[in-house]
A and B are shown apart, each in its own frame.
Chain A
């Protein structure tokens, strides 16, 4: 239990990290550092996108699987680490 907290804290304290959230396989947030409405929005959208990305990868090669998804936008970078049961979403501002 403490590991969970510690890991999330470590990630959150990285430079430029805006928010971190853990989402279950159905897109329901479990842990988050952002406010509720933002969390819910991110969770819903990214969950669908991850599913789509995973199915794309697997369609091309059924033995392949999605390991990491990074979306770079003008303002932020959204990183999604998918798993069978959970999704770890980190939003970072790569301020260079």
Chain B
């Protein structure tokens, strides 16, 4: 559209032409497209755009053909029309085609609108009059200037008011536009009227639930349906596959132990022999030893001197502990032996353990009759053999061996060198010798019969069948001593002299030539002590014994001939008379106790000992007693020839067995007793001393038991006993030191009690007293074995035959 405000000036320009500013511009021509400047008051001006091509065709190029001085061109109408035919719609003149066709003239004025007055760069004048106007008023440019001046000049003009006069409306084509632009209703509008009753407005509303599907048309849904148009079928799929083995991942937690380096040495590192030798030779070792040995020896000597770590309190306490336990020291009866064969009342006179065989006891029994009764029944007694019975633990009823003797044996002893030799003292003063070498295996077999093991010491004995050794052997004696030359009364004690020395007729002590026990000492109630030698005498003086020999009964053949030389002709080597001095009463010895001196063998004697060993290996030395006599007597100096004697009166005598020559009479006589052990010149014991025994631990401590009390003496101490017990309620009938404990000794009472004295516990009374049997205890002999301590307690039974009991006690 043509800007109206801008064109006010141009309309002023064209005032000269029309002088009609307020006029309505006449509508443009028929062509709707042609736009003219009617709005500006120049209806004949049609702006155009001319392209460069058009400009070249029509030679109206800008700045070449059309300049400022001549900005117009007269174009031939035919040219334009030819252009129309050439370029048809493309032609720039096409918008004004009708105008040009209707142009009456031949030349059309084209003006270059440099300032774009009319909007475009060219315009044509569509009428002749316009063209004329254009050319004619060359004062057009001047008019322009005049326009400006005109404005100023206008107030100079007198303004006359003319009222507008109405003119007939000229349609310029605007009613078409209006018609186009106006809005008209195409259809007729329909009118609805909705009404409702008024009271229905504002009523309270109540909502309720309702299933939408229950009511018809309650809801409208738009269901989804598979639209085929939108379905894409997947015909191909690209998938990757891999065939793998089935794997599974698992994990577990194990206990993590710290790894440690450890080594084990299997063998100790040791030096080889050569290395040891080399080291031994080395000087540093010698230096080291010489340096260190000093301090080591000091330390060793310190230990030898004293034990610095002794706890004295503790040591004391230990002693207490052992005493308090009474059950241990109780004596338990172990075994009782009864002789079923000999039913008369018998008394056990002496008991001895076999020195070597365990569990074998030899018991001598005697008839318990007074002297008158003996005489009375002497005929009867002759029929009954007097026996020494050998009992074994295996058989409490049957004795293993029975040794016969002519008379009742009051005491007997095994020979220490050869346990098969037994010497016994009879009631009539004879000494009886037995040799049971032939039967040794019999009694030894007792030991070996059955399961034998030293550990289970007792049981095997009992398991032995009692009928093993059924046959009882009566073994006859080998020899008896001479009746006239020996003792006149009962032999109360018999001892073997040890095999270390021997005595000659004078009582001098010599070295034992034979190396075996070959001498005996006996004491009897005829107040004499006799020494006997079992070896055959060199000088065989014709004796009245020859007569006896002829009268002798034929000796049975099964008796060994060991002591045949002694039989019935045995004379004592020396005889000691124990006299009390002036008075005629003599001591009646009941027991003697010799000193047990152990001689240290000199080198010369070693040969003797070896010889002895050899001989005993070869044969029984007792078979060959003469061999020893061949040796030379060697005197032993400084031998104590004194011994203790216990008497019937209760005294203890310490006397010497060496005979001396009476300077006056020239006879051999005994020395005076060295000492009489008395207390205040009176006998210690009130009754017969029946036990004089040296302690097995201390050789100079002697135990004497007699009467109602006990005394302990020390040799060479004449003042009195070391210990003298008070009078006991019952008579003491037997006593013995304990073989294991130095302070313990056993006393047997006449009421069958055993008193165990422990000097370390109590000195005024027995530590323990225990009843063993009813009757008097006649003999006590302890024995120790490895492990078990047995004490045989022997007693007599009142009515029953003599019973030997063994009791066991721990101490």
Q: CB < 8 Å: which of A11, A14, A85 contacts B304? A: A14
Residue A46 is within 8 A (CB to CB) of chain B in the complex: no
Residue A57 is within 8 A (CB to CB) of chain B in the complex: no
From 1 to 44 in chain A, residues with beta carbon under 8 angstroms from any chain B beta carbon are 1, 3-4, 7-8, 10-11, 14-17, 22, 24, 26-31, 36, 40, 43-44
Residue B286 is within 8 A (CB to CB) of chain A in the complex: yes
Residue A83 is within 8 A (CB to CB) of chain B in the complex: yes
A14 to B299, CA, bound (A): 11
Shortest distance between the CB of B810 and any CB in chain A (Å): 25
Residue B293 is within 8 A (CB to CB) of chain A in the complex: yes
Q: In the bound complex, do residue B288 and residue A88 qualify as a contact, i.e. CB atoms below 8 Å apart?
A: yes
A8 to B270, CA, bound (A): 20
- Using an 8 Å CB-CB cutoff, how does the interface string of A28-72 with B read, 1 for contact, 0 for none? 111100001000100110000000000000000000000110101
A60 to B568, CA, bound (A): 92
Report B-chain residues with C-beta under 8 Å of the C-beta of A15.
300, 304
From 155 to 190 in chain B, residues with beta carbon under 8 angstroms from any chain A beta carbon are none
Residue B375 is within 8 A (CB to CB) of chain A in the complex: no
Given A30-B276, A31-B280, A96-B306, CB of A14 within 8 Å of CB of B297: yes
Given A28-B269, A81-B295, CB of A16 within 8 Å of CB of B304: yes
A14 to B298, CA, bound (A): 11
Residue B717 is within 8 A (CB to CB) of chain A in the complex: no
A70 to B22, CA, bound (A): 153
Q: In the bound complex, do residue A96 and residue B307 qualify as a contact, i.e. CB atoms below 8 Å apart?
A: yes
Most chain A CB neighbours (cut-off 10 Å) among B271, B285, B303: B303
Given A11-B293, A14-B297, A44-B268, CB of A30 within 8 Å of CB of B285: yes
Report A-chain residues with C-beta under 8 Å of the C-beta of B297.
10-11, 14
Q: In the bound complex, do residue B280 and residue A10 qualify as a contact, i.e. CB atoms below 8 Å apart?
A: no
Bin chain A's interface residue count.
Answer: 35 or more
Q: CB < 8 Å: which of B268, B285, B300, B303 contacts A4? A: B285
- Using an 8 Å CB-CB cutoff, how does the interface string of A81-95 with B read, 1 for contact, 0 for none? 101011010101010
- Using an 8 Å CB-CB cutoff, how does the interface string of B263-288 with A read, 1 for contact, 0 for none? 00000111100001001110011101
- Decide if the interface of chain B is mainly helix, strand, loop or mixed: helix
Q: In the bound complex, do residue B299 and residue A26 qualify as a contact, i.e. CB atoms below 8 Å apart?
A: no
A1 to B290, CA, bound (A): 11
Report B-chain residues with C-beta under 8 Å of the C-beta of A83.
288, 291-292
Report A-chain residues with C-beta under 8 Å of the C-beta of B57.
none
Residue B296 is within 8 A (CB to CB) of chain A in the complex: yes
Given A1-B281, A17-B300, A92-B303, CB of A31 within 8 Å of CB of B276: yes
Residue B310 is within 8 A (CB to CB) of chain A in the complex: yes
Q: CB < 8 Å: which of A3, A30, A36, A90 contacts B296? A: A90
Q: In the bound complex, do residue B289 and residue A7 qualify as a contact, i.e. CB atoms below 8 Å apart?
A: yes
Residue B219 is within 8 A (CB to CB) of chain A in the complex: no
Given A11-B296, A77-B303, A94-B303, CB of A30 within 8 Å of CB of B286: no
Residue B313 is within 8 A (CB to CB) of chain A in the complex: no
Given A86-B288, A96-B306, CB of A40 within 8 Å of CB of B296: no
- Decide if the interface of chain A is mainly helix, strand, loop or mixed: mixed
A36 to B309, CA, bound (A): 31
A29 to B310, CA, bound (A): 33
Bin chain B's interface residue count.
Answer: 20 to 34
Report A-chain residues with C-beta under 8 Å of the C-beta of B306.
96
A62 to B195, CA, bound (A): 127
Report B-chain residues with C-beta under 8 Å of the C-beta of A79.
296, 299-300
A68 to B303, CA, bound (A): 15
Shortest distance between the CB of A52 and any CB in chain B (Å): 19
Shortest distance between the CB of B313 and any CB in chain A (Å): 16
A81 to B299, CA, bound (A): 10
Report B-chain residues with C-beta under 8 Å of the C-beta of A67.
295
From 237 to 277 in chain B, residues with beta carbon under 8 angstroms from any chain A beta carbon are 268-271, 276
A27 to B279, CA, bound (A): 14
A5 to B292, CA, bound (A): 14
Report B-chain residues with C-beta under 8 Å of the C-beta of A1.
280-281, 286
Q: CB < 8 Å: which of A11, A29, A31, A70 contacts B270? A: A29
Q: In the bound complex, do residue B269 and residue A22 qualify as a contact, i.e. CB atoms below 8 Å apart?
A: no
Given A44-B268, A67-B295, CB of A8 within 8 Å of CB of B284: no
Q: In the bound complex, do residue A96 and residue B310 qualify as a contact, i.e. CB atoms below 8 Å apart?
A: yes
From 42 to 83 in chain B, residues with beta carbon under 8 angstroms from any chain A beta carbon are none
Most chain B CB neighbours (cut-off 10 Å) among A26, A67, A92: A92
Q: Of all chain B residues, which has the CB nearest A20?
A: B296
Q: In the bound complex, do residue A81 and residue B296 qualify as a contact, i.e. CB atoms below 8 Å apart?
A: yes
Report A-chain residues with C-beta under 8 Å of the C-beta of B293.
7, 10-11, 88
A72 to B301, CA, bound (A): 15
A2 to B280, CA, bound (A): 10
Q: In the bound complex, do residue A4 and residue B292 qualify as a contact, i.e. CB atoms below 8 Å apart?
A: no
Given A28-B269, A28-B271, A94-B304, CB of A88 within 8 Å of CB of B280: no
Given A30-B271, A67-B295, A79-B299, CB of A8 within 8 Å of CB of B289: yes
Report A-chain residues with C-beta under 8 Å of the C-beta of B299.
68, 70, 79, 90
Shortest distance between the CB of B308 and any CB in chain A (Å): 9
Shortest distance between the CB of B305 and any CB in chain A (Å): 9
Shortest distance between the CB of A17 and any CB in chain B (Å): 7
A3 to B284, CA, bound (A): 12
Report A-chain residues with C-beta under 8 Å of the C-beta of B296.
11, 79, 81, 88, 90
Report B-chain residues with C-beta under 8 Å of the C-beta of A85.
284, 288
A26 to B269, CA, bound (A): 9
Q: In the bound complex, do residue A30 and residue B280 qualify as a contact, i.e. CB atoms below 8 Å apart?
A: yes
A4 to B307, CA, bound (A): 29
Q: In the bound complex, do residue B286 and residue A16 qualify as a contact, i.e. CB atoms below 8 Å apart?
A: no
A36 to B292, CA, bound (A): 23
A27 to B268, CA, bound (A): 10
A67 to B176, CA, bound (A): 146
Q: In the bound complex, do residue A94 and residue B307 qualify as a contact, i.e. CB atoms below 8 Å apart?
A: yes
Q: In the bound complex, do residue B300 and residue A29 qualify as a contact, i.e. CB atoms below 8 Å apart?
A: no
A11 to B290, CA, bound (A): 11
Q: In the bound complex, do residue B300 and residue A14 qualify as a contact, i.e. CB atoms below 8 Å apart?
A: yes
Report A-chain residues with C-beta under 8 Å of the C-beta of B270.
28-29, 36, 40
A4 to B280, CA, bound (A): 7
A96 to B312, CA, bound (A): 13
Q: In the bound complex, do residue B289 and residue A3 qualify as a contact, i.e. CB atoms below 8 Å apart?
A: yes
Q: In the bound complex, do residue A3 and residue B271 qualify as a contact, i.e. CB atoms below 8 Å apart?
A: no
A27 to B270, CA, bound (A): 9
A10 to B300, CA, bound (A): 11
29 intermolecular pairs with C-beta atoms under 8 Å apart = A3-B289, A4-B280, A4-B285, A4-B289, A7-B289, A7-B293, A10-B297, A11-B293, A11-B297, A11-B300, A14-B297, A14-B304, A16-B304, A28-B268, A28-B270, A31-B276, A43-B268, A44-B268, A68-B299, A70-B299, A79-B296, A81-B296, A83-B292, A85-B284, A86-B284, A86-B285, A88-B288, A90-B296, A90-B300
Interface residues of B (CB under 8 A from A): 268-271, 276, 279-281, 284-286, 288-293, 295-297, 299-301, 303-304, 306-307, 309-310
Interface residues of A (CB under 8 A from B): 1, 3-4, 7-8, 10-11, 14-17, 22, 24, 26-31, 36, 40, 43-44, 67-68, 70, 72, 77, 79, 81, 83, 85-86, 88, 90, 92, 94, 96
Q: 18 extra interchain contacts, Cβ-Cβ under 8 A, other than A3-B286, A36-B270, A43-B268?
A: A10-B293, A15-B300, A16-B303, A16-B304, A22-B285, A24-B279, A27-B269, A29-B270, A30-B271, A77-B303, A79-B300, A81-B295, A83-B292, A85-B284, A88-B289, A88-B296, A94-B307, A96-B306
- Lowest 10 CB-CB distances: which A-B pairs, in order? A96-B307, A94-B303, A81-B292, A40-B268, A14-B300, A7-B289, A86-B288, A7-B293, A88-B292, A83-B288
